């Protein structure tokens, strides 16, 4: 039996979005205090696509600042960046030798990201899920809060753990549970209700950044794609209205309620009423976090100190698990 332990992470590959906040950070904060929590800035994942070195260092601190500003407490959670705990890369290599090429070929996120360009992307982008399995299993983590887009990768993590346990005839790695709950596990982009909101999306108008100012947030929601209808009497009425559904889900997640409750309040409302209310709500929730991020970013040495301390504590868990893995494998 394994002690309940949470692991998750975010890539420092651009500014944090409302998708990262609702799908990840807010839920990370919710799990803090309930069990042991380890949250990483996954910089080794970021470099699977080109990152400007100076911007990468800045983005790493910014994700850490986002964690802290949203309420992660370094005395309650371990906060660190991945590259500072070299055991991640070491275990990933072992998992590259456990995972099968056929498994990787089924990863839909790789297909989406590589597109028609699959011959030209980095080998790291292809092996990404194996590094993610290492991130999780290096801590024998049992619970991984993620957005819907990461579900397949957490399932692959289970496949790798099972194959390792089976091949070496030992019950060493746990079966990790993906924790995907609440109304905002797949926040869609504001211009195309069928694509996920992402840091690396093409246009800034399609996403809300955690650090957008109030006017920008209002403008983006105002211009967001919607439809001609008013809001329905029940959530069933949102079926086949993906853009409307997305805006209602965002409202529900930001206000800690359910889409049903939002619809109960806004049944019959037009977009001219709903969108400004949504923008006000988003500003009320994001502005204090954004202000605190700005304050924290003024003192990068303090962020680095928190991350270095977190890396020491992460290493203290990771090193013995990697050492045991080496022994099991015969290395
Ligand atoms: P991005 O896709 O914005 O680059 P990451 O790959 O770093 O973000 O993902 C970090 C976490 O944020 C993951 O758990 C991911 O599932 C979650 N996440 C990212 N975008 C969204 C979204 N649009 N809706 C919900 N969760 C999301
Ligand atoms: Na992602």
Write the residue with the smallest CA distance to atom 22 of ligand 1. 19
Identify the CA nearest to 297 among candidates 210, 178, 195, 229.
210
Per-residue pLDDT 10s for the chain (331 aa) are: 899 999 999 999 989 999 999 999 999 999 999 999 999 999 999 999 999 999 999 999 999 999 999 999 999 999 999 999 999 999 999 999 999 999 999 999 999 989 888 899 999 999 999 999 999 999 999 999 999 999 999 999 999 999 999 999 999 999 999 999 998 999 999 998 889 999 887 789 999 999 999 999 999 999 999 999 999 999 999 999 999 999 999 999 999 999 999 999 999 999 999 999 999 999 999 999 999 999 999 999 999 999 999 999 999 999 999 999 999 999 9
User: How many other C-beta atoms can be found within 10 angstroms of the C-beta atom of residue 129?
Assistant: 26
Asked, for residue 190, whether it belongs to a domain, the answer is no
Residues 119 and 75 in one domain: yes
Residues 124 and 44 in one domain: yes
Long-range own/partner contacts, residues 30-34 (CB < 8 A, 24 or more apart): 31/6, 31/143, 31/145, 31/179, 32/71, 32/72, 32/73, 32/76, 32/77, 33/76
Asked whether 60 lines ligand 1 (CB < 6 A), one says no
Asked, for residue 195, whether it belongs to a domain, the answer is no
Residue 233: CATH number of its domain: 1.10.240.10
What is the spatial distance between Cα 91 and Cα 157, in angstroms, rounded to a whole number?
12
Residues 319 and 173 in one domain: yes
- Cα 32 to Cα 2, 73, 146, 249, distances in angstroms: 18, 8, 15, 23
- Which ligand has the minimum distance to the alpha carbon of residue 199? 1
Asked whether 108 lines ligand 1 (CB < 6 A), one says no
Residues 10 and 151 in one domain: yes
Residue 127: CATH number of its domain: 3.40.50.620
Residues 94 and 167 in one domain: yes
User: How many other C-beta atoms can be found within 10 angstroms of the C-beta atom of residue 301?
Assistant: 7
**Annotated catalytic residue 113:** yes
**Annotated catalytic residue 220:** no
User: How many other C-beta atoms can be found within 10 angstroms of the C-beta atom of residue 122?
Assistant: 13
Supply the DSSP symbol for 168: T
Number of domains in the chain: 2
Residues 266 and 311 in one domain: no
Asked whether 186 lines ligand 1 (CB < 6 A), one says yes
Asked, for residue 197, whether it belongs to a domain, the answer is no
**Annotated catalytic residue 196:** yes
Write the residue with the smallest CA distance to atom 14 of ligand 1. 146
Domain enclosing residue 113, as ranges: 5-179+299-329
With 0.90 as the threshold, say if the pTM is over it: yes
ipTM of the complex: 0.96
Asked, for residue 60, whether it belongs to a domain, the answer is yes
Residues 169 and 260 in one domain: no
């Amino acid at each position: 039996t394994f002690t309940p332990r949470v692991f998750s992470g975010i890539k420092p590959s651009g500014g944090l979005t409302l998708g990262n906040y609702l799908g990840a950070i807010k839920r990370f904060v919710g799990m803090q205090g309930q069990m042991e929590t380890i949250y990483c800035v996954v910089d080794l994942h970021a470099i699977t696509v080109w990152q400007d070195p100076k911007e990468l260092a800045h983005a790493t601190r910014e994700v850490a600042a986002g964690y802290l500003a949203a309420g992660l407490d370094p005395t309650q959670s371990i906060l660190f960046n991945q590259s500072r705990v070299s055991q991640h890369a070491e275990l990933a290599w072992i998992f590259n030798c456990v995972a099968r090429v056929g498994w990787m070929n089924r990863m839909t996120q790789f297909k989406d990201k590589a597109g028609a360009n699959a011959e030209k992307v980095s080998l790291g982008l292809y092996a990404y899920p194996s590094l993610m399995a290492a991130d999780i299993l290096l801590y024998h983590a049992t619970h991984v809060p993620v957005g819907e887009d990461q579900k397949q990768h957490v399932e692959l993590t289970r496949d790798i753990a099972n194959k390792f346990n089976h091949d070496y005839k030992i019950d060493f790695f746990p079966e990790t549970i993906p924790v995907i709950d609440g109304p905002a596990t797949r926040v869609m982009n504001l211009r195309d209700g069928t694509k996920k909101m992402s840091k690396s999306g093409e246009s800034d108008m399609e996403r809300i950044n955690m650090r957008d100012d109030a006017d920008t947030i209002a403008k983006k929601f105002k211009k967001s794609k919607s439809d001609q209808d008013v809001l329905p009497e029940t959530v069933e009425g949102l079926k086949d209205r993906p853009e409307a559904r997305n805006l209602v889900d965002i409202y529900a997640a930001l206000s800690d309620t359910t889409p049903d409750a939002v619809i109960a309040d806004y049944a019959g409302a037009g977009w001219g009423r709903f969108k400004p209310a949504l923008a006000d709500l988003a500003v009320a929730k994001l502005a204090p976090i954004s202000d605190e991020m700005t304050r924290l970013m003024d003192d990068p040495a303090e962020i680095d100190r928190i991350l270095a301390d977190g890396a020491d504590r992460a290493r203290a868990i990771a090193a013995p698990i990697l050492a045991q893995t080496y022994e099991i494998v015969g290395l």
